[in-house]
Amino acid sequence: MATDFFIISSIRYDPELLDLPENTELSASPDTRSEFYMLRYHRDRMVVAAKAFEWPTAEASISGESGLNKLDSALREHVLEEYSEVQRRSPIRIRIDLSIRGELSFTSAPTPAVPFACFFPPPLLSPSLDSHLLLSTLSSFDPISIPSTWNIHLSPDPLTPSLYTTHKTSLRDQYTSARHTFSNSSSNPIPATTEVLVCNTAGEIMEGTLSTPYFYRNGSWVTPGEEAGGCRGVSRRWALERMGVRERTIRVGEIEEGEMVWLSNGIRGWGWGRVEFLPWQRREGGGMKISG
């Protein structure tokens, strides 16, 4: 097995998170507010990945409360070194790299602000109830701040599930290629608010290239199960544990053009998306045309 890669996780730094008790629960200490979004879940996913890749030194380096505090301290040091006091008042996206030797490194850049409601929404409502109604039920949020809308496409090229799809690593060429399918050119990548869903060789949706998708089926929200081979994202874990979302096999052929889908990730939180097919993907009667 190759070892010249990193286990990675992308985390949001945002001073707005200091006011959210749900985020405090997931900080390095449940009694300490944190600017890092779902920090504990990010650490947990990296520990699981290190174990799966049989990297014992890396696993030990961030395990337990001492490992979590080590990660928290390293992130804070990075933010303090790389950003001024003024810059630290705004959100920052940070990619965490963990090497086989247990070394941590970071790359980061400013990232857009998102409404409070995107971070820890309540149990998801039916897609027939728009996001204005969702937010009007939340007295703690400004009802005019709606989650951003994504455009959603489906990649025509299936992926073979492996440890590199189940766990997030720096080897992401297959996800980059899926996104390039929907760009005008390699020098003009598609926007970050455009998502591309990928499926496995059995025709089952695995995940999005940037996020976890949630589909409305039989009166409840579901997300692709782990057996499909997709990444076990941090926001996905929150949805399964706290938001009433269930796992279910989602086949490519059952997805409808125009279908409303929730998406989530560890940088932007939650938002709505709408499925859009390319002309050659449409089949008579609706749904996506499946090749072969």
- pLDDT score recorded for residue 134: 46
Determine the pLDDT at residue 198: 97
- Which are the contacts of 82, defined by CB distance < 8 A and separation ≥ 6? 108
The total of other beta-carbon atoms located within 10 Å of residue 27's CB is: 20
Whole-angstrom distance, CA of residue 94 vs CA of residue 162: 25
Amino acid at 102: G
Which pLDDT score is estimated for 278? 73
Return per-residue pLDDT of the chain as tens, 292 residues. Answer: 667 999 999 999 999 999 999 999 999 998 899 999 999 999 999 999 999 999 999 999 999 999 999 999 999 999 999 999 999 999 999 999 999 999 999 999 999 998 888 899 877 766 765 444 444 443 333 433 445 578 999 999 999 999 999 999 999 999 999 998 887 655 567 887 899 999 999 999 999 999 999 999 998 999 999 999 999 999 999 999 999 999 999 999 999 999 989 999 999 999 888 999 876 566 555 555 554 3
Query: CA-CA distance, 114 to 278, in Å (whole number)?
Result: 29
Using DSSP, state whether 284 is helix, strand or coil: coil
The number of residues making up the chain comes to: 292
Whole-number pLDDT of residue 42: 98
Output Rg (C-alpha) for the chain, integer angstroms. Answer: 19
Q: Which stretches does DSSP call E strand in the chain?
A: 7-13, 92-98, 104-110, 149-154, 194-199, 205-208, 212-217, 220-223, 246-247, 260-265, 269-275
Backbone angles phi, psi at 180, to 5 degrees: -65, -25
Six token digits for residue 96: 């965490």
- pLDDT at position 188: 66
**Burial class (CB within 10 angstroms; exposed 0-12, middle 13-18, buried 19+) of 136:** exposed
Q: What pLDDT, on a 0 to 100 scale, did the predictor assign at position 193?
A: 82
The pTM of this model reads 0.89
